[in-house]
Amino acid sequence: MADTTKRKLDASGIAYTAAASKRQFPKPLRQEIVFVGRSNVGKSTLVNALSKRKNLARTSKTPGKTRLVFFYEASPDFYFVDLPGYGYAQASRDKQEAFSRVTDDYFNDDRPIALVLILLDIRRGFGTLDLQMLDYVCHHAIAWQVVLTKADKLSRQAALKAEREVMEVITQYADMYGHPALFPISVAAGLKPGDERMQCLENRIMEFISEQ
């Protein structure tokens, strides 16, 4: 286990810490951009795309791959935090728990969270656990932005319809908690770093980083 606690360098020289529990989290010295969502939704893929590195965050066809909290030193100013996916029954020893213990540890640790990116598969929209996560971040007054993944799986027209449906839920929550109703940003794994949608997401992240 000691092996997982150390700060490591990935193949492209980016440093990261993989933490299995609270005491392995790095010191809260930088702001954190957090990626949450169901298992297999594409969190690690998006961390890679935003870091413009392949295989920085390990992606997998098997749901439940990311069981640790990964803190990627994506920039000198912030970490990208890749949390374990939820909704994968076998991933948690206690199947009654919606979110893994290390996820609870993370949110209960008073981390310097700049923004939580809530990832939804564009074909599924909000599920029960996503709404629970949304309730959680709203309740704790943490800033959030919905990102729709796998946009390549739908036609443009179907994607627009999915975006509108998700926006209805976002508006309800935003109104309820006094959060700005931010339109969801749709992305797909194959998008180039300079793509307009990726650019929009990068700009959104930087807005929250500079707001602190």
Ligand X SMILES: Nc1nc2c(ncn2[C@@H]2O[C@H](COP(=O)(O)OP(=O)(O)OP(=O)(O)O)[C@@H](O)[C@H]2O)c(=O)[nH]1
Q: Which of Mg ion, ligand X, none does residue 188 bind to, with CB < 5 to 8 Å depending on kind? A: ligand X
Shortest reach from residue 60's CB to ligand X, in Å? 5
CB atoms inside a 10 Å sphere around CB 26: 18
Which of 17, 66 has the CB closer to Mg ion? 66
- How far is CA 154 from its chain centroid? 21
Which of 24, 44 has the CB closer to ligand X? 44
Shortest reach from residue 199's CB to ligand X, in Å? 16
Cα 57 to Cα 49: distance, rounded to the nearest angstrom: 9
Which of 38, 43 has the CB closer to Mg ion? 43
Single out the residue of 196, 194, 200 nearest to residue 182, CA to CA.
Answer: 200
Shortest reach from residue 84's CB to ligand X, in Å? 6
Shortest reach from residue 175's CB to ligand X, in Å? 29
Q: Which of Mg ion, ligand X, none does residue 40 bind to, with CB < 5 to 8 Å depending on kind? A: ligand X
Cβ-based neighbours of 208, under 8 Å, separated by 6 or more: 33, 114, 115, 143
Q: Which of ligand X, Mg ion, none does residue 165 bind to, with CB < 5 to 8 Å depending on kind? A: none
Q: Which of ligand X, Mg ion, none does residue 30 bind to, with CB < 5 to 8 Å depending on kind? A: none
Asked if residue 112 lies in contact with residue 30, where contact means CB atoms within 8 angstroms, the answer is yes
Q: By the criterion CB under 6 A, which residues form the site for ligand X?
A: 37, 39-45, 59-61, 63-66, 85, 149-150, 152-153, 188-189
44 belongs to the binding site for Mg ion (CB under 5 A): yes
39 belongs to the binding site for Mg ion (CB under 5 A): no
Shortest reach from residue 76's CB to ligand X, in Å? 25
Provide the binding-site residues for Mg ion, judged by CB under 5 A: 43-44, 66
